[in-house]
């Protein structure tokens, strides 16, 4: 993809970031109402599952094409587990860290993991070598975390 194409997709990525920061706050309020972070995460996932089910049904694509399940790598099944962990932990951490520290620490973890994922081409990502620009960019994120976490 060209740099121009990437720049066209960046606003969508920014909306995802806004959504993630908002989701932690919304789910934390759900936790306060239910007094239990796991129940709040369950309700959040249940509502999300219903919405995704409706959208998938409306799309009309075939479900479980013949042989498709056998082609899925074993590790591809843990996406839901990772999502549940992410949601439950953000519900737990949001009121303790605040929106900014939570968001920057999550992004920092994503950046560090993404360097390894891209460099090695793991989990289906295209193989993109670590270079000086990527390391410097990642260091800025880590420095940002140190700065916003300092009280």
pLDDT in tens, 11-22: 998 898 899 889
Among residues 64, 66, 67, 44, the alpha carbon closest in space to that of 56 is found at 64
**Is there a single domain that holds both residue 20 and residue 87?**
yes
3-state secondary structure of 150: coil
> Which DSSP symbol is given to 121?
T
Residues 135-147, mean pLDDT to the nearest whole number: 97
pLDDT at residue number 137: 97
- The structure tokens listed for 107 are 């992004």
**Is there a single domain that holds both residue 18 and residue 44?**
yes
Question: Does residue 68 lie within any of the structural domains?
Answer: no
Q: CA–CA distance from 78 to each of 40, 74, 84, 149 (Å)?
A: 20, 8, 10, 30
Question: Does residue 90 lie within any of the structural domains?
Answer: yes
Question: Does residue 2 lie within any of the structural domains?
Answer: no
**Is there a single domain that holds both residue 114 and residue 93?**
no
Among residues 103, 123, 132, 110, the alpha carbon closest in space to that of 24 is found at 103
Say if residues 31 and 91 touch (Cβ distance below 8 Å). Answer: yes
Q: 51-102 pLDDT, tens per residue?
A: 999 999 999 888 888 888 889 999 999 998 999 999 999 999 999 999 999 9
**Is there a single domain that holds both residue 87 and residue 122?**
no
pLDDT at residue number 13: 87
**Is there a single domain that holds both residue 21 and residue 89?**
yes
Owning domain of residue 93: 13-59+79-97
User: Residue 133: is its pLDDT beyond 80?
Assistant: yes
Task: State how many domains the chain has.
Answer: 2
pLDDT at residue number 109: 94
Question: Does residue 70 lie within any of the structural domains?
Answer: no
Question: Does residue 93 lie within any of the structural domains?
Answer: yes
In angstroms, the CA 130 to CA 98 distance is: 32
**Is there a single domain that holds both residue 28 and residue 55?**
yes
**Is there a single domain that holds both residue 105 and residue 134?**
yes
Give the ranges where the chain is alpha helix by DSSP (H): 3-34, 37-59, 79-97, 99-120, 132-149
In angstroms, the CA 101 to CA 106 distance is: 8
**Is there a single domain that holds both residue 85 and residue 105?**
no
Question: Does residue 65 lie within any of the structural domains?
Answer: no
3-state secondary structure of 2: coil
3-state secondary structure of 24: helix
């Amino acid at each position: 993809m060209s740099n121009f194409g990437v720049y066209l997709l960046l606003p969508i990525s920014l909306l995802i970031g806004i959504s993630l920061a908002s989701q932690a706050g919304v789910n934390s309020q759900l936790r306060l109402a239910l007094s239990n972070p796991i129940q709040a995460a369950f309700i959040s996932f249940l509502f999300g599952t219903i919405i995704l089910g409706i959208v998938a049904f409306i799309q009309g694509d075939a479900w479980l094409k013949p042989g498709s399940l056998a082609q899925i790598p074993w590790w591809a099944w843990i996406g839901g587990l990772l999502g549940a962990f992410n949601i439950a932990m953000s519900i737990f951490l949001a009121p303790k860290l605040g929106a900014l520290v939570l968001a920057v620490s999550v992004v920092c973890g994503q950046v560090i993991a993404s360097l390894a994922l891209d460099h090695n081409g793991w989990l289906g990502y295209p193989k993109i070598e670590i270079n000086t620009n990527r390391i410097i960019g990642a260091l800025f994120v880590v420095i940002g975390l140190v700065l916003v976490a300092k009280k």
